[in-house]
Structure 1
Amino acid sequence: MLLDIQDLTKSFPGPEGPVPVLRGVTLALDRGESLALTGESGSGKSTLLHLVAGLDRADGGHILLDGEDVTGLDDRRRAALRRTKIGIVFQQFNLIPSLDVAANIAFQARLGGAVDKSRLDRLTVALGLEAHTRKYPEQLSGGQQQRVAIARTLAASPRLILADEPTGNLDEKTADEVMDQFLALVAETGAALLMVTHSPRLAGKLGRNIHLSQGRVA
């Protein structure tokens, strides 16, 4: 099992004490699988994703990635996981404004010391970005920027891809196009995909769906 989440809990401070957000979430995801995480706003979807990515710490439970407990790692080792094994696609594209498209795509792979020129070229072509490699993010449409963000994530060859409302800033037609390209490329890599979405339509494109309600798997 690539990802094994066991009895995960997380609370945040509130005016009257801790506010539970995750209340014992358990789920598993194997290599090559895709899983959509759905639920109402405030159900804990993004919090769960951030904990898996090592961007925040859980209060209790375990997150095992390739058998290694992410919850027990220090900041340096969790950052190393994000450079090598975990790729993240956010709703906000998070491109670097001072870098052109080609440099943005290569950025994550360079951080992880895993630059593969032929892979960069394949992703650029597959996502229809070959005519835009010398442009800067501000010169691109929203759909093009998200394609760059997807290419950047996949270029680093992560084993686990986390996506938080990756097409939430796009219109429905563009969202469907980008999502179909994204899923096809993820399938080619054999990586596992855990995606947060509010959209039942987009969730239906993934292999499995799990619904969170009030911090629990419904």
Structure 2
Amino acid sequence: MLVIEQLHKSFPTPQGPLPVLQGVDLRLARGSSLALMGESGSGKSTLLHLVAGLDRADSGRILIDDTPLDSRSEASLALWRREGVGLVFQQYNLISSLDVGANLAFQARLAGRHDPDWLAYLAQRLGLADLLVRYPEQLSGGQQQRVAIGRALAGRPAWLLADEPTGSLDEASSDEVLSLLLQLVAEAGSGVLMVTHSPRLAARLQQRCYLQAGRVRPEPGG
């Protein structure tokens, strides 16, 4: 279970602190999926980064199976990033000096969870089995995004955190990539928290949450 309670986060500016999250509450069971929606600047990516342990909140709590995330040491947060979460970003963030096979295995190896059979299955399902010796620069955008998804799921993390994972793809490719992502997440037993601006894509997840000015609001038109 992922529980977020009264989460606040501000960033310093020359004019003073800029509040980004102002008391966010969320609950999400492991194995379920939630689309995080809202206008630019509403705090969606900030919330994702806090859950990933990439930053710390000013106040409030993030609980993973009743264990507070925000009180962990830096070493414990690094372990959480390696083992507990898989991250997928719009920019792919692949390692240019590694081929596809090594990119796919990268996080699983860091986490000590390298499973060659699972990795081979991911590569086959993602249409990458014939591309394992290629490098990221030799791939299309859609192929690079598939590598990023495979890398995030290779270690079977508890949570997949995706920030506009299909934002740079056309509509048909977005639908295909999201379908694969959701199927493979279910097989890995992971939960999904996905930032998206697309109501069409958000509708395919089990739950939706709308952020406005750093607070959870009823979804417009909902």
Range class of TM-score, shorter chain: over 0.9
Say which SS state the counterpart of residue 70 (structure 2) adopts.
Answer: helix
Q: What's 1:60 paired with?
A: 59
Does 2:178 align with 1:179? Answer: yes
Contact 2:156–2:189, Cα closer than 8 Å, also in 1:
no
TM-score (norm 2): 0.96
Say which SS state the counterpart of residue 131 (structure 1) adopts.
Answer: coil
Does 2:83 align with 1:84? Answer: yes
Question: Shift of the alpha carbon at 1:205?
Answer: 0.8
Say which SS state the counterpart of residue 42 (structure 1) adopts.
Answer: coil
Q: What's 2:119 paired with?
A: 120
Q: Using the alignment, how far apart are the partners of 1:133 and 1:159 within structure 2?
A: 26
1:187-202 residue pairs with structure 2 within 5 A? 187-202=186-201
Runs of 4+ in structure 1 over 4 Å off: none
- Code of the residue aligned with 1:87 in structure 2: it is G
TM-score (norm 1): 0.98
Say which SS state the counterpart of residue 60 (structure 2) adopts.
Answer: strand
Question: Shift of the alpha carbon at 1:14?
Answer: 2.0
Q: Using the alignment, how far apart are the partners of 2:100 and 2:67 within structure 1?
A: 34
Q: CA RMSD in A?
A: 0.7
Question: Shift of the alpha carbon at 1:83?
Answer: 0.8
- Code of the residue aligned with 1:34 in structure 2: it is S
Question: Which range moved further: 9-18 or 208-217?
Answer: 9-18
- Code of the residue aligned with 1:192 in structure 2: it is G
Q: What's 2:153 paired with?
A: 154
Give ranges in structure 1 of 5+ residues lacking alignment: none
Q: Using the alignment, how far apart are the partners of 2:139 and 2:67 within structure 1?
A: 39
Contact 2:82–2:107, Cα closer than 8 Å, also in 1:
yes
- Code of the residue aligned with 1:42 in structure 2: it is G
Give ranges in structure 2 of 5+ residues lacking alignment: 218-222
Q: Using the alignment, how far apart are the partners of 1:178 and 1:51 within structure 2?
A: 25
- Code of the residue aligned with 1:191 in structure 2: it is S
Q: Using the alignment, how far apart are the partners of 1:213 and 1:14 within structure 2?
A: 20
Does 2:162 align with 1:163? Answer: yes
Q: Using the alignment, how far apart are the partners of 2:155 and 2:90 within structure 1?
A: 19
Q: Using the alignment, how far apart are the partners of 1:179 and 1:38 within structure 2?
A: 16
Q: What's 1:43 paired with?
A: 42
